[in-house]
Amino acid sequence: MAFRPRIGLLALAIGALLAPVGVILAPRDGATVLVLAASSVAAAEAVSLADGVILAPVGRFGLLARSAVPGFSTRLYSSGAALVLAGLGGGCSGQARDPFISARRSP
């Protein structure tokens, strides 16, 4: 019986340590997000249903995606995504380069 208060205190301490990580990795509107699901097919379906654009595959279970419409991460969760995190790519601006636009600048 003496273990219950210790487990609750331990859970509270772990939650307090992980909360800042959750704030940093929380996706923002208009930014690139990492969408994780049971498979990359399920992640692609969630992105499609949430009106997003797939930028690149990430392993067997995820995709990098983006949408200009606010509330994208909320729509991803309601469309079946298991986890949505701030995208890991995109350079200094945080925005991924559009794969359909050439990287070269015209003179």
Q: How open is the CA angle 7-18-87, to the nearest 5 degrees? A: 145
Question: Is this model's pTM higher than 0.75 or not?
Answer: no
10-to-5, 17, 20, 23 alpha-carbon distances in Å: 9, 11, 17, 21
Number of separate helices (H) and strands (E) present in the chain:
3, 4
- Res 9: pLDDT: 75
Span 5-32, pLDDT tens digits: 677 777 777 777 766 665 555 666 777 8
